Structure 1
Amino acid sequence: MGEETDFFQLMAAIGGKAALFSASGHAARKAVNEIVRAQLVADGTGLDQVRQIRALLGPAAFAEALDGVPAPKTKALLTRADPHGPALAQPGDRIKALLALADGSRAPSVPVEKPARKAASRKAPAGPDAAPKEEAAKDPSAAPAPRKRKITGRAALRVSEER
């Protein structure tokens, strides 16, 4: 068959005469599942396309096709379909979430707004409280004790050998 052949049109023609190809039912099922899986794992497939595919295939055939998608690809598809949703660790949970998103029983998660950070003032406070801190900085006896340095690497080996 040439490059100009429309294979989707040929599949529609075969589907229209399914009785003529009755011995190929299993092969047709596998072909449909592979086509659907290839589209589901494609980079541009989002929630709208997933819902359209489910509406076209029906719930049972869609679930069967989705069940054959590899776990890493399922995670990527769920992230595209619901970018603000919870990160699910188990592949079965991801498939259930995708099925719920596809049939509309679960809406995509909305982004969680994080509280705004308060900018810390880097200036020294002005006023009556500022004077004691400046005096403490000038007085060496009021300075905190120096921190002990943790010895690691070769220095630690030398110290342990000396003991």
Structure 2
Amino acid sequence: MDSVFAAKLTSISSAFIVSGYMLAASQSSIPLLLPQPTSVSTAIFRGVYTRGAALAVPVSAISVAATAYLVYITPAESRNKALYAVSGVSTAAMIPLTRIIMMPGIKRLISISHMEASMQGKPAISSEALGLLATWSGQNWIRFGLSAAGGLLGLYAAIVQDV
């Protein structure tokens, strides 16, 4: 297996792995948490977020690194160079989106998960947690779209074989 094939395989598959995880969280996990008591939903969310970060950050970095290699080795006159570049940027964009836009809500949900059960049961806290979970799910759909777009663009570039 040559380095170009390995980079294509790595960049495309890792972008799809991350997008699949994001899809599962927004499509399957969060909707099941919404009707649960705050003490349950925020504790489970904390686990989903922690495990997701442990997967998404390194796998996204691997995807971006492999895509950067493809951009580097692709001739300047090839349209694949731009496709790989946009693929890498799309996949990488999840990290600043998470850090800048999503992190305040994530931190608040985690802090709610550490509160005493009597505090979590208060209507204002329960309502806040419910809103934060719904917002996080919507934002996570955007992360799914970014990573899926990165994978699809990389796949398209690999199929075109314009290198």
* Same-fold status (TM-score > 0.5): no
Q: Of the two, which has the highest radius of gyration?
A: 1
TM-score calculated relative to the size of structure 2: 0.28
Higher relative contact order (CA 8 A, sep 6+): 2
TM-score calculated relative to the size of structure 1: 0.28
More helix by share: 2
